[in-house]
């Protein structure tokens, strides 16, 4: 799956997945903020190797706050 991000003048982004626009399933919004999150596991936390955990990209709807999680 390929993501394209298009920055907007208000500091948000519009996102396309494989050429199709990402829209919020809750409110229909099309503008998002992006962040990354670690997908922590108990074993990695116990052995203090959180760097080994996988990472997810989050797109947060600017209208309602719904969070999309994508493992890339």
Mean pLDDT throughout 16-30?
A: 96
Higher pLDDT, 71 or 4: 4
* Residue whose token pair is 């990354």: 36
Mean pLDDT throughout 13-18?
A: 95
CA distance 8 to 43: 40
Contacting residues for 27 by C-beta, under 8 A, at least 6 apart: 61, 63, 64, 66
Domains, the chain: 3-71 (2.20.25)
Give the model confidence (pLDDT) of 26-56 as tens digits. Answer: 999 999 999 988 776 666 555 666 555 578 8
Q: Residues of the chain with pLDDT > 70: what percent?
A: 79
Mean pLDDT throughout 56-67?
A: 96
pTM over 0.75: yes
């Amino acid at each position: 799956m390929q993501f394209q991000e298009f920055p907007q003048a208000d500091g948000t982004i519009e996102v396309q997945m494989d050429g199709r626009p990402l829209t919020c399933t809750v409110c229909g919004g099309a503008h998002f903020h992006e962040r990354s999150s670690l997908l922590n596991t108990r074993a990695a936390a116990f052995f203090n190797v959180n760097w080994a955990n996988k990472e997810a990209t989050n797109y947060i709807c600017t209208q309602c706050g719904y969070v999309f999680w994508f493992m890339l």
